[in-house]
Structures are given as structure tokens and as C-alpha cells.
A and B are shown apart, each in its own frame.
Chain A
Amino acid sequence: MERLIYLDNAATTPLHPLALEAMMPYLTGSFGNPSATYRLAKQANDAVVRSRKTVASILGARPTEIVFTGAGTESINTAIKGVAFQQEKARAGNHIVTSQIEHHAILHACQYLERFGFDVTYLPVDRYGLVDPDDVARAMTDQTMLVSIMTANNEVGTIEPIFEIAAAVRERASSLKKRIPFHTDAVQAPNSLQMNFAEHDIDMLSLAAHKFRGPKGVGVLYICRGVPFLAQQNGGGQERQRRAGTENVAGIVGAAESLRITQESLDADRTRIAGLARRLRDGILHAIPNSTLNGHSEQRLANNVSISFDGADARDLLADLDDAGIACSAGAACGATTIEPSHVLLAMGVPLERAISTLRLSIGHETTAAGVDAVLTALPTIVERSRAKRAPDSSATAAG
């Protein structure tokens, strides 16, 4: 395909060739159903067992605490509903604490629960998109039975003080004399952070393989032993009764392999990616007047550059960038064929006008300095053109 520069790695990433190589045997010869008893099936089952071990050791968890799912969204829905419905059964409360800047997978799962009488607190964030651990603790009551705060935001890249939040939840829960599980949507984290989260008071965590060069259609859910949980997909006894259905063996193998590769070379890759992100961000802010970085200037994902261009419209920018062979996004890709102002930016207090002028550029392992420089060359004119077109006093045919 004729593609020059892909800067939407927060939406999805190309499958790593080694992950594909690891998957191929399970798409061809070793096709057995892991639940069956004969040798062919054992090969498939062994592959799932190995993959589970790999993922568990990266997360700092036990293999029995890892559940493979069909997507990041499924992991998140399973975590939220699985805890909520089990806690309801155990009469452990009906209140959930989350934040206003979560991905729609969390927000819509919470709304789903509200229809069933659950009560949800959506915590505000500061102008950098940071959740305050004290706010989390204060929002918790004796009715609270789950807290879910994302590790890092997909739109503006802000990394939350997740271990402090986890500790605050733990402490508040113990003063309330109950166990209140803490879940985190870590879907955006593996390219930027060491993922041994299970060692840090985090009870549940969701991942999506396609965000770290694994295949689409596979997610991971970590559920710490002892967390109250009711399976959300029922049928066969797969995944220790926590998620029924014939295992996506090739997908699981690809997920584990890509997570291993990404985490093993994290330090070097992160430095390089953050360097490119810095170059892109500084270059844009320097070259284009009235442009503003969104999110926190330091505490952010290595690969995320989110910038608003006052007076421009993101739809114009995306179309012109696409024509110039540059792929990026206005916010979240999820179902975004229309551009609505981002709930994340609005929660951070960004004015509506500015919110709809925002681009998210996310660097990947394949991004080069030349690619970044090409964006720096193309973008100023593109922004200028949109600003001219959208200026209140210019006619629709403004020369550009």
C-alpha cells in the first residue's frame, strides 16, 4: 500500500512479524481444540499454557490470574460487569468510582450498569487530565464495590498516578473494612510502561493486543486471586470458568509474543519513540502559532502528541493530512467516522472550539525522523488553510 507516514499508533499498530511467525503454526498445522484430549489438541493447549505464563510473568501475576478475551473492550466490560454483578449478589454495595476521561468501553459499561440500578461517580480531572488520588478515596463510600481508573489516556496521553491511586483505594477500603477491587484500563500502556502492575495493589487490568503490535481480536484480563467475579461469557469450562468459548489459539500466541517483544525492548524503544515525539511536538508548537499541547508535559505516554490549533477544524486537517499521506486522528478512532468534541478534552476544561481543532499524533516503532520532519513541513500550511476557511470573516471561497 502507498502509505508514507503512519502516526496513529494509539488506534492500532501493525502486527509484529515475529508475532505473526509465532501465530502461523496455529493457523495451519496445529489446529487442535485445546479442550480435547488427543495429541494434536495438546499441542494447541500447550501453546495457550505457554502464552499465559508469558503474559503472567510480564504482569507479575500468576498464570491462573490471566484470562484471554476477544478484545480490550471485552476485557473491560468483563471486569466491570463481572465484579459489579458478583458484588450485587453478595450485597457488597452498588457504587462504582471511575473518571470522566475513561475510554468509552468503561463509560458505556458503567452506563449499562446504571440502567440496572448501579450508582456511578465520574470523577473530574485537572487541566492536565490527572485524577487526584485523594478525590478517589473521598468518593468511596461503604457502598463502593469497584474503582476503575485508566492507566494512561488514549487521547491526550496523560499517565495517571496509578500506583498512588491503587494505594489510596486500598487504604480507604481497609478503613471501610471491605475489599474494594481496583481495575485499570491499561490498553495504552505497554508501549510506554513496564507492565508488572500486579505487584502494585492493582487487582484487575485490561489489555488489547493490537495496541502493542499483536493481532486484533484478542484481549487480556488480569484478575487477582480472590477478587469477586462473575463470568460474563458462559458455556464450556475454558479459562477456568471465567470466559467460555473455544480459545483463539493463534491470537493468544500472537498476543503473548508481541507483549514479550514490546516489553523486552521497552527501554530502548521508549527512549527513541519519546525522542521522536518530542521533536514532533516541539517542532509543531514552534512552527505553528496558537497551537497548544494537551495533557501533561512530562507525565505522558512516550508516543502521544496531542495538540490543538485554535481556529482550525480537525476534519479539514485530517483530510488534508490524508491527502499528504499522513495518517493520524482527531481523538479516539473508536467508531469515529463523525467528529464529536472529545469528552476527555471537555473534562479537562478545554473550550469546545479548541477541542474540535485537536489532532492526536501517535508515534510507533516504525516511525522515522524523516517521517516526523515531513509532518513538520506539511502541517503549517494545512493548519493555515483550515484557519482561513473557518475564519468567521472569510467567505467560503477564501483564497489559500
Chain B
Amino acid sequence: MADRRMYLDHAATTPTDPRVVAAMLPYLTTAWGNPSSIYAEAREARKGLDAARRTVAEALGAKPNEIVFTSGGTEADNLALRGVAMAARQRRDRVAAGDRESAAGDGHHIITTAVEHHAVLHECEALAKEGFRITYLPVDNEGFVDLDALRAALDDRTILVSIMYANNEVGVIEPIAEITRIVKAHNPHIAIHTDAVQAAGALDLSVDALGIDMLSIAAHKISGPKGVGALYVRGRTPFTAQIVGGSQERNRRAGTENVAGAVGLATALRLATDEREARNAHVGALRDRLLDELPRRIPDTIITGPIDRARRLPNSASFAFQHVEGEAVLLQLDLDGIAASSGSACTTASLEPSHVLTAMHVPESYLRGSLRLTLGASNTMSDVEALLEKLPPAVARIRALQPMAGRSA
């Protein structure tokens, strides 16, 4: 990274681990063949791709043929939702056409939460326009999904439940294993998807322990390259491919494979799994220092997300300052050489208050003052101390300069 800058936005993206780049390079230079071909170069590429698939499967406790490589977390999320939704629609069409052999039912109900990433929410909105019924579960003020609302929402038309493993804005870890028990007790045929894009690396991804049918990850959030992700799809999940063409990825996602990318994803995931304890301990200590100190040093500051540290991502510290424009804080930090975020990177350009904080009922006067600090391997305790020195006067200055409209109200 350029001269002594401090990068505290690892939830947006991460620096690629040099070991990952090294693993990718052979597939960008010598083993560049098309894995679908049959001669030697192609076989090298095929071997790399197959090994990558095995590595990802292993990290998930899954079978290699249950892994579908995608172009990123967004595609994986979209594919999970639409893949199941379109399979249900086809079943419905067949039943309507009088084919009694098809599993009966006219499933068209999808349950998700109000705090998902837009890759899930916006795809749900698209499906809603096509006639699917979507339930957005509420969360409590720490961001935990309301399980009673989940129980109440399940009905005999429900085909899919999609609930994120860990939230990108406030770091809350949802109780996925408990959620899947509730859903499967209601009806074992309902498919359950979890967006594990932020959880990957930090949390256990064993799909059987979680009890889920589908799980999304993105390489660039775990020190891998951008432009590659994966969707786990459990063997028998009713699922229809969306990008169609060649028979790659066992007919579930067509297109010449991004071999170097898949190798990069697999390497990053393996390193993250192997080094998980040490990494979590490292960032956890920094996170705890931030969570302890910032609310003490800056008046009218709340921690957003869970208070119980065991129930938040080890690298995520998120806050909201009363009567402060979060963007002004970010600008000040950037001038001080510190990269941070107010929430999710894809929405920072829009000045809408975060849908996650709104769903958590964060008080109005705090809504625009969010700050998300997400840690990584390169951060040190002295970085954190430097931030703890710089931030309080910066917030005070902004508060003095920008008395916000809502303040007198």
C-alpha cells in the first residue's frame, strides 16, 4: 500500500495475499489452456480448477461437485435465489400443464431479512416483480433476526429462506444453525441459503453443522482476487442454471472458467481456514480496543451491532456518532491517511441512511453518523492507538463546524 496509509476497510475488500498471487500466476502464464479442451495445456488448467474445487469443498465440508464457481459474491447470491425460484416456477408450470408426476405445490414464497446485502435484497425485489412473495424478517436493535417472526412467516408456499451468516455493516453473526433447525422442522424441503461473504475466513463454514443448502462466498473479502466467488449447492437442491451456454460447472453456470481466479479463491480460503485462530485473535484484540475506547473518548457515540463480542465478527467495529455526518468523518480520516467506511462500499456514493441501521431502529439523530472500521492482518495496535488519538478531535471539529439540522429538534 502507498506510504504509511492505514487501511481499515477490510469488509469492502482486502489486499490480495502475496501467496495467493503466487498460486495464481502459473495459470496466468504457462497453464492458460481452456479447461474444457482435452490436450496437455488444457489438462493443466483442468487440474488446477479441479484442485481448487476440492480445496473449497474441503473448507465447507462439502463434495467438490457441490461447488459452483461464479464471478463474485453478488452472482453467487443472485444465482442462489433465482436458481431456486426458477426451479419452483418450472415445477409450478409443469403442474399447471397437468403433469401430476411433478412434486405438487405452487411454492412462490421467499423469506429473507431486512438487513441483507443488496445482492440479496435487490434480487428479491426483482423476484417480487415476477410474482414471488417476499417476507423481510425484522431484526432487533443489535441486528439479530427475529426468530419468532421467522416461525410465523413459514407457510406451505415457502420455497426458500435466505439469511446472511454475518452482516457487512455491523458485524452481527446470525444464529444460522438455529435458523435451519426451525426451517427444516417446519418443512425439510425448503431450501436455505446463507450469504457467507463476510463470514468466510472468520467463522466455521461447515455446511452440515450449519445445516444449510446453499452458501455464497467472494474471494476478494478473504485476501483473494476480485472477480471470483463460489456458491455451494447441496446435492439435491432444486436448482436451475441462470447463465447458460457451455456445460461448465456441471451445467449450473456456463462460460469459460476463470481458472486463475478459482485457484486464487481456493488458496485464499485454505490460508484463511488454516490461520483462522491466529488471524481472529489478532484482529479481535484490535477490535476490542476500538469497541472499548471509542465510545469512551467520543461523547454521544453508540456501538452498532451486538454488544456481546462473541456474537460479532472478530474484525468488525462499528459505531454511530450523534449529530455527525459520517461522510465528513470519512473525508477527515482520508486526509489523515486512514481508509474507512460508513457502511457498505457499494452504497457509500448514495447518501441514503443505511437500511441495516434503519432496520435496527438506530435513533434518527445517529443514523447518518455511522463509521465502520474493519480490521485485517496488516493492522497493528499502534495503528489503532493512532486512530484513537485522531478521531475524537476530528469528530469534535466536525460537530462544531456542521451543526446538523436535526439537532435542535
Considering the chains assembled together, what is the distance between the CA atoms of A248 and B265 in angstroms? 13
Please pick, from B78, B246, B341, the residue contacting A235 in the complex, using a CB distance under 8 A. B78
Is the Cβ of B5 less than 8 Å from the Cβ of A234? no
Is the Cβ of A105 less than 8 Å from the Cβ of B244? yes
Judged by a CB distance under 8 angstroms, whether A2 is at the interface is yes
Binding-face segment, B11-19, B315-323, B382-390: B11-19
Is the Cβ of A8 less than 8 Å from the Cβ of B37? yes
Judged by a CB distance under 8 angstroms, whether A121 is at the interface is no
Q: Which of A12-49 contact B (CB under 8 A)?
A: 12-15, 20, 23, 27-29, 31-33, 35-41
Binding-face segment, A192-200, A209-217, A285-293, A369-377: A209-217
Q: Give the residue name and chain of the A residue nearest to B93 (CB).
A: A115
Judged by a CB distance under 8 angstroms, whether B349 is at the interface is yes
Contact with B along A239-275 (1 / 0, CB 8 A): 0000011111111000000000000000000000000
Please pick, from A208, A234, A335, the residue contacting B126 in the complex, using a CB distance under 8 A. A234
Q: What is the number of residues of chain B that contact chain A, defined by CB distance less than 8 Å?
A: 83
Considering the chains assembled together, what is the distance between the CA atoms of A6 and B30 in angstroms? 12
Point out the residues of chain A lying under 8 angstroms from B242, CB to CB.
77, 232
Is the Cβ of B339 less than 8 Å from the Cβ of A244? no
Judged by a CB distance under 8 angstroms, whether B247 is at the interface is yes
Considering the chains assembled together, what is the distance between the CA atoms of A244 and B76 in angstroms? 12
Q: Which of B199-226 contact A (CB under 8 A)?
A: 218, 220, 225-226
Is the Cβ of A15 less than 8 Å from the Cβ of B37? no
Considering the chains assembled together, what is the distance between the CA atoms of A29 and B44 in angstroms? 29
With A14-B32, A105-B244 given, is the CB distance from A248 to B226 under 8 Å?
A: yes
Please pick, from B37, B72, B225, the residue contacting A327 in the complex, using a CB distance under 8 A. B37
B337 to chain A minimum Cβ distance, whole angstroms, is 9
Judged by a CB distance under 8 angstroms, whether A238 is at the interface is yes
B219 to chain A minimum Cβ distance, whole angstroms, is 10
Q: Give the residue name and chain of the B residue nearest to A328 (CB).
A: B39
Is the Cβ of A235 less than 8 Å from the Cβ of B346? yes
B327 to chain A minimum Cβ distance, whole angstroms, is 8
Considering the chains assembled together, what is the distance between the CA atoms of A73 and B75 in angstroms? 14
With A11-B34, A20-B29, A33-B12 given, is the CB distance from A235 to B117 under 8 Å?
A: yes
Is the Cβ of B71 less than 8 Å from the Cβ of A71? yes
Considering the chains assembled together, what is the distance between the CA atoms of A229 and B20 in angstroms? 37
Point out the residues of chain A lying under 8 angstroms from B24, CB to CB.
27
Is the Cβ of B9 less than 8 Å from the Cβ of A33? yes
A212 to chain B minimum Cβ distance, whole angstroms, is 13
Considering the chains assembled together, what is the distance between the CA atoms of A236 and B227 in angstroms? 14
Considering the chains assembled together, what is the distance between the CA atoms of A96 and B142 in angstroms? 50
Point out the residues of chain B lying under 8 angstroms from A106, CB to CB.
245
Q: What is the number of residues of chain A that contact chain B, defined by CB distance less than 8 Å?
A: 78
Binding-face segment, B104-112, B253-261, B278-286: B253-261
Point out the residues of chain A lying under 8 angstroms from B39, CB to CB.
8, 318, 321-322, 326-328
Considering the chains assembled together, what is the distance between the CA atoms of A218 and B259 in angstroms? 12
Point out the residues of chain B lying under 8 angstroms from A250, CB to CB.
225-227
Is the Cβ of A12 less than 8 Å from the Cβ of B32? yes
Point out the residues of chain B lying under 8 angstroms from A41, CB to CB.
12, 339, 345
B210 to chain A minimum Cβ distance, whole angstroms, is 23
Judged by a CB distance under 8 angstroms, whether B73 is at the interface is yes
Is the Cβ of A72 less than 8 Å from the Cβ of B256? yes
Considering the chains assembled together, what is the distance between the CA atoms of A332 and B333 in angstroms? 53
Considering the chains assembled together, what is the distance between the CA atoms of A84 and B330 in angstroms? 42
Judged by a CB distance under 8 angstroms, whether A69 is at the interface is yes
Considering the chains assembled together, what is the distance between the CA atoms of A208 and B254 in angstroms? 13
Please pick, from B31, B126, B226, B340, the residue contacting A1 in the complex, using a CB distance under 8 A. B31
A267 to chain B minimum Cβ distance, whole angstroms, is 26
Point out the residues of chain B lying under 8 angstroms from A321, CB to CB.
39
Is the Cβ of B346 less than 8 Å from the Cβ of A236? yes
Point out the residues of chain B lying under 8 angstroms from A69, CB to CB.
71
B91 to chain A minimum Cβ distance, whole angstroms, is 12
Considering the chains assembled together, what is the distance between the CA atoms of A104 and B247 in angstroms? 9
Q: Give the residue name and chain of the B residue nearest to A26 (CB).
A: B226
Judged by a CB distance under 8 angstroms, whether A306 is at the interface is no
Is the Cβ of B125 less than 8 Å from the Cβ of A234? yes
Q: Which of A115-158 contact B (CB under 8 A)?
A: 115
Judged by a CB distance under 8 angstroms, whether A87 is at the interface is no
With A1-B44, A234-B125, A333-B36 given, is the CB distance from A73 to B245 under 8 Å?
A: yes
Considering the chains assembled together, what is the distance between the CA atoms of A111 and B344 in angstroms? 37
B263 to chain A minimum Cβ distance, whole angstroms, is 11
Is the Cβ of B220 less than 8 Å from the Cβ of A73? no
Is the Cβ of B75 less than 8 Å from the Cβ of A233? yes
A-B contact pairs, 6 of them (CB 8 A): A32-B13, A73-B246, A74-B243, A233-B74, A235-B117, A327-B42
Minimum-distance CB pairs A-B, first 7: A248-B227, A236-B346, A217-B258, A70-B71, A334-B246, A335-B247, A105-B245
Chain B residues close to A by CB (< 8 Å): 1-2, 5, 7, 9, 12-16, 18, 21, 24, 28-34, 36-42, 44, 70-75, 77-78, 90, 93, 117-120, 122-123, 125-126, 218, 220, 225-228, 242-248, 254-261, 327, 330-331, 333-334, 338-341, 344-350
